[in-house]
């Protein structure tokens, strides 16, 4: 846009911002920058545009928030109580599901055996299925160990539901115990590692085969 006048540049800027605004409002899911860029004019700086739009909505009833590498409009945190009045009461997750979700979030990628080791009790497949149905966890790959067990990690939907931009925003161990998300049965020397939310598999993982989806059973020799 170097050849444009100031008025023309301002007009293009406002048009791009309106396009982004419309796309984000219309979407039921957070959108990544690359998918948004395809709707803008040539030479548009999507990063600057998103930050500009975020700034404009910073003091409004809805805010533009980042969830991992995606963006979405969400109700301002200080007004969330207004919407909770109309929310349907949902059955809360069981303690087993909450503990399992917390362990996966902090230890991912984690196998079922690793989850059970931290919890100190067996983890039923139904608990993992419930969390996958909610869209909060996913099967990542297979550990390069005997039996090649499936590993689990969190999803972007997990970040969005709990209002996190990245996994580094997760609370500390004491906060988790205080909120009841981790059981007092956990070992006293348990350390919370730095969560890993990268898209790539870790070095000790293999990609999933198509037949792996829907099953976390270990492969037999």
Which run of H or of E encompasses 70? Answer: strand 70-75
Whole-angstrom distance, CA of residue 20 vs CA of residue 114: 42
* Residues 6 or more apart whose Cβ sits within 8 Å of residue 63: 54, 57, 73, 74, 75, 76, 77
Interval 55-98: pLDDT, tens: 999 999 999 999 888 999 998 888 766 665 544 445 577 888 98
Q: What pLDDT score was predicted for residue 99?
A: 87
- Whether 6 shows a pLDDT value over 80: the answer reads no
- DSSP SS3 for 207: strand
Interval 10-60: pLDDT, tens: 888 999 999 999 999 999 889 999 999 999 978 899 999 999 999 999 999
Instruction: Tell me if 176 sits within 8 A of 107, measured CB to CB.
Output: no
Count: domains in the chain: 2
Where in the sequence is the domain holding 57, given as residue range(s)? 6-84
Report residue 128's pLDDT band, with 50, 70 and 90 as the boundaries. very high
Residue 220 domain-assigned?
no
**What's 108's domain CATH number?**
1.10.10.10
- Whether 192 shows a pLDDT value over 90: the answer reads no
Among 84, 118, 137, residue at a domain's last position: 84
Which run of H or of E encompasses 71? Answer: strand 70-75
Residue 217 domain-assigned?
no
pTM above 0.85, yes or no: no
Interval 96-126: pLDDT, tens: 898 899 889 888 889 999 999 888 888 888 8
**Among 110, 112, 130, residue whose Cα is nearest residue 121:** 112
Sign of CA dihedral 208, 116, 124, 153: negative
The better pLDDT of the pair 27, 199 is held by: 27
Query: Are residues 123 and 185 located together in one domain of the fold?
Result: yes
Cross-strand bridge partners of residue 62: 75
Instruction: Tell me if 149 sits within 8 A of 218, measured CB to CB.
Output: yes
Q: Distance between alpha carbon 83 and the CA centroid of its chain, in Å?
A: 22
Query: Are residues 110 and 56 located together in one domain of the fold?
Result: no
Residue 29 domain-assigned?
yes
Residue 122 domain-assigned?
yes
């Amino acid at each position: 846009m170097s050849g444009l006048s100031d008025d023309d540049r301002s007009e293009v800027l406002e048009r791009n911002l309106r396009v982004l605004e419309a796309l984000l409002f219309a979407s039921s899911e957070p959108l990544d920058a690359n998918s948004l860029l395809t709707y803008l004019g040539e030479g548009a700086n999507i990063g600057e545009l998103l930050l500009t739009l975020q700034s404009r909505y910073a003091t409004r009833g809805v805010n533009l928030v980042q969830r991992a590498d995606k963006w979405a409009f969400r109700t301002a945190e200080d007004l969330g109580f207004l919407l909770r009045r109309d929310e349907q009461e949902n059955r809360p997750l069981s303690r087993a599901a909450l503990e399992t979700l917390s362990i996966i979030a902090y230890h991912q990628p984690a196998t079922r055996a690793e989850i059970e080791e931290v919890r100190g009790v067996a983890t039923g497949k139904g608990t993992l299925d419930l969390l996958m149905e909610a869209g909060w966890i996913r099967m990542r790959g297979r550990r390069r160990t005997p039996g090649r067990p499936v590993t689990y990690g969190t999803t972007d939907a997990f970040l969005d539901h709990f209002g996190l931009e990245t996994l580094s925003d997760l609370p500390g161990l004491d906060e988790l115990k205080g909120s009841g998300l981790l059981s007092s049965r956990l070992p006293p020397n348990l350390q919370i590692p730095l969560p890993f939310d990268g898209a790539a598999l870790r070095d000790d993982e293999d990609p999933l085969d198509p037949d792996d989806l829907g099953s976390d059973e270990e492969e037999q020799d």
